[in-house]
A = this chain, B = another copy of it.
Amino acid sequence: MTLHEAIAESVREQIRRGELSVGDALPSEAEFCDRWKASRAPVRQALATLRSEGVITGGRGKPPVVCASSLGQPFDTLLSYSAWVHSIGRTPGQRTLELALRPADEVASANLHVDAGAPVVHVLRLRYLDGEPAMLERSMYVERVGRLLFDFDCDSGSQWTYLQSRGVRFATASHVIDAVAADPVDARNLGVPEGAPLLRQRRTTRDPDGDVLEFHDDRYLPRAVSFTLNNTIDSRSALARATPGSALDL
């Protein structure tokens, strides 16, 4: 772990442990330098990282101040449901309803960027939060990745962790968040009436070369899960509004 990472992590740790709460001021940069026997560069890099995460604010002349109690989520917890649930101290669960190798239909070929008819792995999974259904996950994988899933007990642990252990390298993801009415499949599995509002997160995950690895259509029960964002005037947010015409692609 590099020095600036260690500094940033120590601050996050202090926030997690409650030693720093919202509104508290952090030590000055000079103080950090003394404590860590470091120059300003790594200290400032650590503070910049925390700032971009929306954890602290502060301006010229004023010491940085903790401005968010909920820490931003690292890349993996936004992509892995299991990792996320664990990270907030709850109990995940899951039941795989379908695992199939099928020729790509129109939707699959468009989202995975493969030829129509190419083999594609479809997965339908129901995800639980503390034993209650919370999300229905429709995912599709390019054949290269999806075939690994047939060697995996999908109900046992984290698919994400498993795929990484088999050499799949996830690098970037694009998310589109909107609302949708529960279709018959959603309704039956999530235990809501047909047409009930669901929070939908669609995402495309790619490897370092930009090739698509998977596409998800996750539908959450709004009473169980929502998305949050903390925003500061001097930081452009990664989250953006969009209209359907806009490109969803990388």
When the two chains form the complex, which single residue of B57, B197, B232, B247 contacts A69, counting CB atoms closer than 8 Å?
A: B247
Answer whether residue A175 sits at the interface, using C-beta atoms and an 8 A cutoff: yes
Cβ contact within 8 Å between B230 and A70: no
Quick check: A173 and B231 within 8 Å, CB to CB?
Answer: yes
Taken together as a complex, chains A and B put the C-alpha atoms of A231 and B173 apart, in Å, by 5
Note all chain B residues with C-beta closer than 8 A to A222: 178-180
Q: How many copies does the complex hold?
A: 2
* CB-based nearest B residue for A84: B241
Q: Give the Cβ gap from A130 to chain B, nearest Cβ, in Å.
A: 9
- Contacts A197-B179, A232-B171, A237-B73 hold; do A227 and B242 have CB atoms under 8 A apart? yes
**Pair A228/B249 contact, Cβ less than 8 Å:** no
Q: Which residues of B contact A220 (CB under 8 A)?
A: 179
Give A84 Cβ to nearest chain B Cβ, in Å: 6
Residues of B within 8 A of A129 (CB): 243
Q: Is the CB of A229 within 8 A of B177?
A: yes
A98 at the interface (CB under 8 A from B): no
Residues of A223-247 at the interface with B, using a CB-CB cut-off of 8 Å, are: 223-244, 246-247
Residue of B nearest to A242 (CB): B228
The yes or no answer to A103 lying at the interface (CB within 8 A) is no
The answer to whether B197 and A236 have CB atoms under 8 Å apart is: no
Q: Hey, which bits of chain A sit against chain B, CB under 8 A?
A: 22-23, 48-49, 52-54, 57, 67-75, 77-79, 84, 88, 90, 129, 170-181, 195-200, 210, 220, 222-244, 246-250
A242 contacts B230, CB within 8 Å?
A: no
Q: Which residues of B contact A90 (CB under 8 A)?
A: 243
Closest B residue to A51 by beta carbon equals: B52
Question: Provided the pairs A243-B129, A243-B224 are in contact, do residues A229 and B73 lie with their beta carbons within 8 angstroms?
Answer: no
Q: In the bound complex, how far is the Cα of B58 from the Cα of A171, in angstroms? A: 11
Chain B residue nearest to A180 (CB atoms) is B197
Are A233 and B171 touching (Cβ within 8 A)? yes
**Chain B residues with CB below 8 A from A170, complex form:** 233
Closest 9 CB pairs of A and B: A197-B197, A179-B179, A178-B226, A52-B52, A179-B199, A179-B197, A173-B231, A177-B227, A175-B229
Q: Could you write out 21 A-B pairs with CB less than 8 Å apart?
A: A57-B171, A70-B246, A71-B240, A72-B237, A72-B240, A75-B235, A172-B233, A174-B228, A174-B229, A175-B230, A176-B227, A177-B177, A177-B229, A228-B239, A228-B246, A228-B248, A229-B238, A229-B239, A229-B240, A235-B238, A237-B238
